[in-house]
């Protein structure tokens, strides 16, 4: 049986790895893949956004399932194209993916569905946006409405900073087209959690909760990035300040207050959401509130969540059933098997101008660590070199958080390439909770 994986980053490597764990007899094809994925799959040089060739590839290989990794092909309508061709595909349609690609749309869905989130307003002109900043008061958050690779959000400590952010987006064109519409949003206080849930339009199967680390440097300093590391599970209850080894209460709360009402609102709009619904949440004193939705697996959350997600019947079976339109199988469930900590190794110059072409030396494999490739390539001589901002994601696994963190940090330290940047404190909040 053949599965096509669309994309070529760390998330897609983790998907390939997990699918092979679920069923070693699966034959995997990746478009375009990367040198790490190439150890598990046949990599075909088709870009993730080349919709015509992706459809042709799935037909030619008789793929029983195609899984879409990144947001760009979803935003371009890859799922609509696959469905029109009668091909089973895991992911939302272009209209449903707007829950990620338009923050303004997502906000309206949440307001209509009564999903807890920060108050926000959408503007296209500077004076209106500035006056909203003054009404809300600082701290306040300014966001580019469209896709900006996780970088179009500015948390402003002062009104003056917010004014600058608005100018940069609406006048200075800082985020191109995605910044021509800005959201001014109330600041939420709390700890962040990512809940990745498989959705079939009506029902959900939430996976193990994870926590991302968006800032470049240890201690949550430095610029925002696509994500410098993650861990799963997270020992948090459903209210700020509640520590709980059992995250069931958190997931139940998120399912009933966030995920199911959102799916209902999407159905009402004629845009049923199927695929992976990612809720980025702030756990506040009033419970979980949505920071953002994504329409796909998180990166690097997938590299932490998938290795510990013990899904029954299996992730493969569940994704295939959803892709075929059969819905999540009755009795499907997910629980955590152990702990995972993922440390991202980024290239010199990341996030602004990542340098490419630095040779990479990987340490000897160890049973409690998996090195997922993200931005790597083979050069003319076949050597592994850096080829993107986030180069590798090293997931340490263990029966405890501490063991997983050690395995991840030790392995990350042993990878060698010039200018390597990484955080040695992934999971510091979990550690502070006494894990």
Q: Tokens at residue 75, please? A: 């935003």
Contact by Cβ (8 Å): 212, 300: yes
The number of beta carbons lying within 10 Å of the beta carbon of residue 85 is 12
Phi-psi region of 241 (alpha: psi -120 to 50; beta: other; left: phi over 0): left
Which residue among 9, 73, 206, 227 contacts ligand GLY (CB under 6 A)?
227
* DSSP code at position 385: E
Strand 339-346 relative to strand 229-232: parallel, antiparallel, unpaired? antiparallel
If contact means CB under 5 to 8 A according to the sort of partner, which of ligand AMP, ligand GLY, none does residue 118 touch? ligand AMP
Q: Which is nearer to ligand GLY, 58 or 78 (CB)?
A: 78
Q: Which is nearer to ligand AMP, 192 or 249 (CB)?
A: 192
Burial 27-36 (b: 16+ CB within 10 A, else e): ebbbbbbbbb
Q: Of 56-64, 293-301, 312-320, 413-421, which segment contacts ligand GLY by CB under 6 A?
A: 293-301
Q: Does 12 bind ligand GLY (CB under 6 A)?
A: no
What's the CA gap between 127 and 261, in Å, rounded? 34
Which residue among 35, 91, 298, 398 contacts ligand GLY (CB under 6 A)?
298
Q: Which is nearer to ligand GLY, 92 or 227 (CB)?
A: 227
Q: How far is the CB of 342 from ligand AMP (least distance, A)?
A: 16
Q: How far is the CB of 103 from ligand GLY (least distance, A)?
A: 13
Q: Which is nearer to ligand AMP, 250 or 315 (CB)?
A: 250
Contact by Cβ (8 Å): 306, 18: yes
Which residue among 294, 303, 343, 421 contacts ligand GLY (CB under 6 A)?
294
What's the CA gap between 313 and 320, in Å, rounded? 11
Q: Of 59-67, 169-177, 244-252, 297-305, which segment contacts ligand GLY by CB under 6 A?
A: 297-305
Q: Tokens at residue 67, please? A: 């899984």
Residues in contact with ligand AMP by the rule CB under 6 A = 118, 141, 150, 153, 155, 185, 187-188, 192, 214, 280, 291-292
257 SS3 class: helix
Strand order through the sheet with 182-186: 120-123, 182-186, 140-144, 153-156
If contact means CB under 5 to 8 A according to the sort of partner, which of ligand AMP, ligand GLY, none does residue 227 touch? ligand GLY
Q: Does 408 bind ligand GLY (CB under 6 A)?
A: no
If contact means CB under 5 to 8 A according to the sort of partner, which of ligand AMP, ligand GLY, none does residue 192 touch? ligand AMP
Q: Tokens at residue 23, please? A: 């069923």
Q: Of 291-299, 329-337, 361-369, 370-378, which segment contacts ligand GLY by CB under 6 A?
A: 291-299
Q: How far is the CB of 386 from ligand AMP (least distance, A)?
A: 25
What's the CA gap between 25 and 21, in Å, rounded? 9
CA torsion, ordered 70, 74, 76, 77, to nearest 10 deg: 150
CA torsion, ordered 269, 273, 278, 283, to nearest 10 deg: 40
If contact means CB under 5 to 8 A according to the sort of partner, which of ligand AMP, ligand GLY, none does residue 368 touch? none
Q: Of 21-29, 292-300, 318-326, 393-401, which segment contacts ligand GLY by CB under 6 A?
A: 292-300
What's the CA gap between 55 and 63, in Å, rounded? 10
Query: Which x/- pattern, by CB under 6 A, does the window 301-320 give for ligand GLY?
Result: x-------------------
Which residue among 32, 139, 150, 222 contacts ligand GLY (CB under 6 A)?
150
Q: Which is nearer to ligand GLY, 147 or 321 (CB)?
A: 147
Three-point CA angle 354, 5, 407, nearest 5°: 60
List residues near ligand GLY by CB under 6 A.
Answer: 150, 212, 227, 294, 298-299, 301
């Amino acid at each position: 049986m053949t599965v096509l994986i669309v994309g070529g980053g760390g998330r897609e490597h983790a998907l390939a790895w997990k699918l092979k764990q679920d069923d070693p007899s699966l034959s995997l094809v990746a478009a375009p893949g990367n040198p790490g994925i190439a150890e598990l799959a046949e990599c075909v040089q088709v870009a993730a956004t080349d919709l015509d060739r992706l459809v042709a590839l799935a037909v030619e290989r008789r793929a029983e399932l195609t899984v879409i990794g990144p947001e760009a092909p979803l935003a371009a309508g890859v799922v609509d194209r696959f469905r029109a061709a009668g091909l089973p595909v895991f992911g939302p349609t272009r209209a449903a993916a707007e829950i990620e690609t338009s923050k303004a749309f997502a906000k309206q869905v949440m307001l209509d569905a009564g999903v807890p989130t920060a108050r926000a307003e959408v503007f296209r002109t500077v004076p209106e946006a500035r006056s909203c900043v003054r009404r809300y008061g600082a701290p306040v958050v300014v966001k580019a409405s469209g896709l900006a690779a996780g970088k179009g959000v500015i948390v402003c400590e002062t009104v003056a900073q917010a004014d600058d952010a608005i100018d940069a987006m609406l006048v200075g064109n800082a985020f191109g087209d995605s910044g021509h519409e800005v959201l001014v949003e109330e600041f939420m206080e709390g700890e962040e959690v990512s809940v990745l849930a498989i959705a079939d339009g009506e029902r959900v199967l939430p996976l193990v909760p994870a926590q991302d680390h968006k800032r470049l440097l240890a201690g949550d300093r430095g610029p925002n990035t696509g994500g410098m590391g993650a861990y799963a599970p997270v020992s948090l209850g459903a209210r700020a300040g509640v520590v709980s080894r059992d995250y069931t209460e958190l997931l139940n709360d998120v399912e009933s207050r966030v995920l199911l009402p959102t799916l209902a609102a999407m159905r009402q709009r004629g845009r049923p959401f199927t695929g992976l619904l990612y809720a980025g949440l702030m756990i506040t004193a009033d419970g979980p509130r949505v920071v953002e939705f994504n329409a796909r697996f998180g990166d690097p959350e997938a590299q932490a969540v998938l290795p510990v997600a013990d899904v029954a019947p299996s992730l493969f079976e569940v994704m295939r059933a959803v892709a075929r339109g059969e819905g999540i199988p009755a009795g499907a469930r997910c629980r955590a098997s152990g702990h995972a900590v993922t440390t991202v190794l980024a290239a010199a110059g990341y996030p602004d101008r990542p340098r490419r072409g630095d040779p990479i030396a990987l340490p000897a494999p160890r049973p409690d660590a998996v090195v997922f490739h993200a931005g790597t390539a083979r050069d003319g001589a076949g050597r592994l070199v850096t080829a993107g901002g986030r180069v590798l994601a090293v997931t340490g696994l263990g029966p405890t958080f501490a063991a997983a963190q050690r395995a991840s940090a030790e392995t990350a330290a042993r990878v060698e390439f010039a200018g390597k940047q990484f955080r040695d404190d992934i999971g510091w909040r979990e550690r502070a909770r006494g894990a």
